[in-house]
A and B are shown apart, each in its own frame.
Chain A
Amino acid sequence: MTVRPIRAPEVQDTTGYPPGHPPRMGFFTDTSVCIGCKACEVACKEWNQLPADQPFALTGLSFDNTEQLSGSTWRHVAFIEQNKPIRTPQDPGDGAGGDLRWLMASDVCKHCTDAACLDVCPTGSLFRTEFGTVVVQQDICNGCGYCVSACPYGVIAKREDDGRVFKCTLCYDRLLDDMTPACAKACPTESIQYGPLDELLERAAARVQELHGDGVEDARLYGHDPEDGVGGNGAFFLLLDRPEVYGLPPAPKATTRDLPSMWRHAAVAALALVCGVTAAFAAAHHPLAQAGAKWSRQSPLMTRTRSSRTTTARS
């Protein structure tokens, strides 16, 4: 299988930024070289002054005590232990190299091309920056939480004590000063690479080919394809197993892709409601219904009820 270099969709143009805006910037997280040091988590927390998580507790999930992305955790290193022989060019997989494979991957907001969170935000608090990233304007967010249920990856979340939602900004403040985002800067193995998305996509395609050449057939890119359900990600990954193994959805779709159909169905339903209620009034005026009402007044059942009521009243 050949991996063709892909060009990232120019979201800034479609958003309305005039020509001359910076290129679309993003992350390429190459999990094949991640060593699980969590420097990215720490650097992110420090730079963005994120509050501490719940009182520290051991989860028992390998070395993963963060568990998931949240309003106060914008990078999360997942640890997955597998019983699978490690295969290298020197040891082509007879199992002698040990049978524990340890997958580590630093997850982050995907900064989707078709960002559902941004689409559904009712206040316009979420916006597309000139770098093509998706950022929350904290002075506008009213904490409705609708973006939380719209995100297909479960990235954005509400801080309950604060009331507003928070997520990775791809260090918007640092980008404005031409600096590398904190997590990528801190990564000691260049597992997290930052740069113009087109460059990263090219580099990633080459890296996958290299790994395939080395016999790592499971290597694959995730979130790189502009044809996928979210139009491709601004932060994409090289994984060594299926995405669901890492807790990532295998084929996410921006929920707003179906929104035109939803509005159409709602319009038809509203029309059905109007017709139904109109018919209810028409039926009440229909001669048959009038006759029916008359019949029900004179029906034996009705008479019995009446007489029994009278009896009760008398007794």
Chain B
Amino acid sequence: MLAAGAQLTGRPGLARAGKIAALAGIALSLGALVEDLGRPERFINMLRTFKPTSPMNMGSWLLAAYTPLAGVSALSDVTGRLPLAGRAACYGAAVLGPAVATYTAVLVSDTAVPAWHEGHREMPFLFAGSATATAAGAAMIAAPSAENAPARHAAVFGAALELAAGRLMRRRIGMIAEAYESGRAGTLLRAAEALSVAGAAGALLAGRRRGLAVLSGAALMAASACVRLGVFSAGVASAEDPRYTVLPQRARALAANASGT
């Protein structure tokens, strides 16, 4: 999306940074997804059906559409070949980008893992914020400082969304929030908040100072990585300790009994 905006507003440096970051990101994700399968050679079975009840299936279709677009967009920009197709692909990828950024939140929430499932309302906003902050961070690192103003604004927006969604989620999910606040997840998420605040402040103050922009961009990317790893750790911790499954379910059953029979 950043690349498309840059392309539209005549910022070739920012556009190139965005396109390459998008391709690198999606190639890594797709590689990790296939590698993580028990039978990687059967990846194509993901596209046997079209099944909205399965976020994994919808995500596979999204990646199948987004990856070639991001690829054409980045390759055309770097090689200078097929400029029209490249620009079109970039706009196509920009349309799918927000869906790619948020479907992963549905993917983790649509499970029986208490910390992931109970946070399902805020998770898409957390992931959208963290995706925006990462993309903006990458652009701040790679794009010339004369062109990076939109990236700096987007960075502040992304970091703010990420912080607000994370806080709101932990407040709403009751005792399950402990999974996010203690242990490895707690450490990672506290680091993420500090890095986010630092990165956003840097983005606000950077102006055309390249050094500060690069530092802030790196802080935002690191914050985002910490958020993802922190959410993952919290999920694992909440699935391992039966307390997180039993206590909220018992409370739910009691409430249902009280209101029903």
Contact = CB atoms under 8 A, between A and B. Distances in A.
Interface of A: 116, 119-125, 140-146, 149-152, 154, 158, 160, 162-165, 244, 247, 249-253, 255-256, 258-259, 261-263, 265-274, 276-281, 283-285, 289, 293, 296-297, 302, 305
B38 to A, nearest CB: 2
B158 interface: yes
A281 B99 CA distance: 20
B134 interface: no
B9 interface: yes
B124 A163 contact: no
B100 to A, nearest CB: 9
B250 A262 contact: no
Interface string B86-103: 000000000000110111
Given A284-B150, A285-B9, A244 B246 contact: yes
Interface in B55-90: 55-57, 60
B56 A273 contact: no
A277 B48 contact: no
Contact of B106 (A122, A262, A278): A262
A284 B149 contact: yes
B45 interface: yes
B12 interface: no
Contact of A121 (B54, B131, B161): B54
A120 B124 contact: no
Contacts of A165: 38
Nearest to B101: A273
A281 B9 contact: yes
Nearest to B260: A227
A131 B94 CA distance: 46
A118 to B, nearest CB: 9
Contact of B102 (A121, A247, A266, A283): A266
14 contacts: A120-B53, A122-B46, A150-B112, A163-B39, A250-B253, A259-B53, A262-B109, A265-B105, A265-B123, A265-B124, A270-B101, A276-B157, A279-B157, A281-B9
B120 interface: yes
Nearest to B127: A269
B112 A151 contact: yes
Given A124-B49, A163-B39, A273 B120 contact: no
Interface residues of B, number: 69
B153 A163 contact: no
B56 A146 contact: yes
B51 A268 contact: no
B37 A163 contact: yes
A143 B110 contact: no
Interface string B136-158: 10000000000001111110011
A251 B53 CA distance: 22
Given A122-B51, A279-B153, A269 B125 contact: yes
A267 B105 CA distance: 11
B161 A263 contact: no
Closest 9 CB pairs of A and B: A143-B38, A163-B38, A269-B124, A142-B42, A280-B153, A122-B57, A296-B207, A270-B98, A122-B56
B161 A276 contact: yes
Contacts of A271: 98
Contacts of B124: 262, 265-266, 268-270
B216 interface: no
A154 B106 CA distance: 20
Nearest to A1: B261
A120 B110 contact: yes
Q: Which of A154, A244, A266, A285 lies at the interface centre, i.e. has the most chain B CB atoms within 10 A of its CB?
A: A266
Given A163-B38, A269-B125, 14 more contacts: A123-B42, A123-B46, A142-B45, A164-B38, A244-B250, A261-B120, A262-B109, A270-B98, A272-B125, A272-B128, A273-B128, A273-B131, A279-B157, A283-B149
A149 B9 CA distance: 44
Given A251-B256, A279-B153, A124 B106 contact: no
A278 B124 CA distance: 19
Contacts of A293: 149, 207-208
A283 B150 CA distance: 7
A106 B37 CA distance: 31
Interface in B210-255: 239, 242, 245-246, 249-250, 252-253
